[in-house]
Amino acid sequence: MRVRVAAAEVLCHLKRSNGCDLLLRYARAPNPDERTSAIRALVERQPKQVVSILKEASEHKQPSVRGAAATGFGRVPSAEALTALTRLLRDPSPRCELPLPSVWDN
């Protein structure tokens, strides 16, 4: 039982790391299509954890990850990114059953 819990914790950490990698890709994307593609990849790989990944990334050591998380939450002017993320989070398909974060109101 303890091994299963440890394995689950490691898997959870790997998923979060993958999310931060995707946020880095998003932050470095030079155009709206590439940013949208990175957001879509994040949602497809981590559908239940997008909001928690963004929250964790907002305290990340790397400024580019923090910036990407902030943009994902709408704190940095990027209408295309916020629109794409909002659309993906509101997707009614089972893979995207996510709560909408209240931090978008900030």
pLDDT tens digits, 31-50: 767 766 776 776 676 666 66
pLDDT (0 to 100) of residue 47: 60
Burial label, 10 (beta-carbon count in 10 A; 0-12, 13-18, 19+):
exposed
Cα-trace Rg, the chain: 14
Distances (CA, A) of 38 to 60, 82, 88, 95, 105: 18, 12, 12, 17, 23
Question: Would 101 be classed as within a structural domain?
Answer: no
User: How many residues in total does the chain contain?
Assistant: 106
- Stated pTM of the model: 0.39
Domain that holds residue 50: 2-91
Question: Would 102 be classed as within a structural domain?
Answer: no
What whole-number distance in Å separates Cα of residue 72 and Cα of residue 83?
Answer: 9
106 residues of the chain, pLDDT tens digit each: 444 444 445 445 445 556 667 666 666 666 767 766 776 776 676 666 666 666 677 677 777 667 666 665 555 445 555 555 555 555 544 343 333 344 343 3
Question: Would 53 be classed as within a structural domain?
Answer: yes
17 neighbors 42 (Cβ within 8 angstroms): no
Number of structural domains the chain divides into:
1
What whole-number distance in Å separates Cα of residue 56 and Cα of residue 58?
Answer: 5
Question: Would 69 be classed as within a structural domain?
Answer: yes
